């Protein structure tokens, strides 16, 4: 446990070097609040979350008559945890058989890697897993998923070419027939501005629902934690198109933009089921607001 927390800390240290050093021996005055404001904005917390945090902090300092900078830092810690707590919701397994998850995101966000990690994670909870290579554009993407399938010893449903909706449909049928617990459907990376590709995702979702009425049960967006406000824009656009049920934030082992979670909490409080903190199979952890904030402020 220590090692991944350290990795999160090291990653977020680019964000938090500003956030932590500014409190050291500081006087509690307008300069401090100004520095804090720019540190939060630089961490991509966004204007709204930053203002809310600053105002709440000033009020707390006044109400509780805080005089030491360390106390102010602790107050900020509490406020940040309160802000991020709504994002902390565990993914509930076993609600459906199979539980069908569709995974979307822009190219390079870490979708395929995350599916591989998540397959391992689910297996550790005694869940059998089936993967569907819904990225029918890139052969390389199918191969990458096949490798993760081998690593986890799980079946990957793929087709040489063709319709991602058909692959998804087949995967659900196959999981039903085999009694598999979880189906994870990969999709090709796309930008929310590529409207025809967003329509294609909606179709995949619809067709999955034809194969199993209640499905997909999870609509997950994978976002790259390095991309800050851009990631927030992706959350909004994909949520508008698909009604997301959860987020996975990757690459928090190397980011200066950890504040984006605060922005997401304000703008679209969609559960962050997991965070990615490395490229290896074990580098996926359930999101915990307290751990995250402590890593940010340590």
Task: Give the residue numbers of the binding site for GTP.
Answer: 105-112, 186-190, 250-253
Question: Binding site: residue ranges?
Answer: 105-112, 186-190, 250-253
Provide, rounded to whole angstroms, the least separation between the CB of residue 236 and ligand GDP: 19
Residue nearest to ligand GDP (CB): 276
In angstroms, give the least distance from the CB of 89 to ligand GDP: 20
Cis preceding-peptide flag for 216 (omega within 30 of 0): yes
Minimum distance from residue 268 beta carbon to ligand GDP (Å): 20
The whole-angstrom separation of Cα 185 and Cα 108 is: 17
State in angstroms the smallest separation of the CB of 284 from ligand GDP. Answer: 8
Identify which of residues 50 and 200 has a Cβ nearer to ligand GDP in the complex: 200
CB of 185 to ligand GDP, least distance (A): 13
Judged by beta carbon, residue 239 or residue 253, the one nearer ligand GDP is: 253
* Complex with ligand GDP: residue 181 or 255, whichever CB lies closer: 255
> CA 53, CA 49: separation in Å to the nearest integer?
6
Backbone angles phi, psi at 184, to 5 degrees: -115, 120
Contact 101, 175 (CB under 8 A): no
Residue with Cβ nearer ligand GDP (180 or 227): 227
Toward ligand GDP, which CB reaches closer, 10 or 47? Answer: 10
Q: Rounded CA gap, 36 and 196, in Å?
A: 42
113: Cβ–Cβ under 8 A, 6 or more apart, which residues? Answer: 148, 250, 276, 279
Name which of 218 and 283 has its Cβ closer to ligand GDP: 283
Closest approach of Cβ 11 to ligand GDP, in Å?
Answer: 8
* Residue 275: both structure tokens together: 């965070």
Q: How many CA atoms lie within 13 A of 270 on its CB side?
A: 27
Please give the residue ranges that form the binding site for ligand GDP (CB under 6 A). 105, 107-113, 189, 250-251, 253-254, 276-279, 283
Residue 221 — left, alpha, or beta (φ > 0 → left; ψ -120 to 50 → alpha)?
beta
Reported as type and span, the H/E element at residue 272 is strand 272-276
DSSP output for 166-226: HHHHHHHHHHHHHT-SEEEEEE----TT-HHHHHHHHHHHHHHHHHSTT--SEEEEEEEGG
């Amino acid at each position: 446990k220590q090692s991944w927390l350290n990795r999160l800390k090291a990653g977020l240290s680019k964000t938090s070097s500003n956030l932590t050093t500014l409190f050291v021996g500081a006087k509690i005055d307008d300069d401090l609040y100004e520095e804090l404001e720019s540190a939060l904005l630089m961490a991509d917390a966004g204007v709204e979350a930053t203002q809310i945090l600053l105002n709440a902090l000033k009020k707390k300092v006044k109400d509780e008559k805080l005089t030491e900078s360390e106390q102010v830092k602790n107050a900020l810690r509490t406020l940040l945890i309160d802000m991020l707590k709504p994002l902390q919701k565990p993914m509930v397994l076993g609600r459906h058989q199979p539980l069908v998850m569709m995974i979307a995101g822009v190219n390079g966000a870490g979708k395929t890697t995350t599916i591989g990690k998540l397959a391992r994670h689910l297996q550790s909870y005694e869940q059998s897993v089936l993967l569907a290579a819904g990225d029918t554009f890139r052969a390389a993407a199918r191969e990458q998923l096949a490798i993760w399938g081998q690593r986890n010893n799980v079946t990957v449903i793929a087709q040489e070419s063709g319709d991602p909706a058909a692959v998804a449909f087949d995967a659900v049928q196959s999981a039903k027939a085999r009694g598999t617990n979880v189906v994870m459907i990969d999709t090709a990376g796309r930008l929310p501005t590529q409207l025809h590709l967003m329509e294609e995702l909606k179709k995949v979702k619809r067709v999955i629902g034809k194969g199993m009425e209640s499905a997909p049960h999870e609509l997950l967006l994978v976002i790259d934690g390095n991309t800050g406000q851009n990631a927030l824009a992706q959350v909004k656009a994909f949520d508008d198109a698909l009604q997301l049920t959860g987020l996975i934030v990757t690459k928090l082992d190397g980011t200066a933009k950890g504040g984006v979670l605060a922005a997401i909490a304000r703008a679209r409080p969609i559960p962050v089921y997991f965070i990615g903190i490395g490229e290896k199979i074990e580098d996926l952890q359930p999101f915990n607001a307290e751990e995250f904030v402590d890593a940010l402020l340590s």
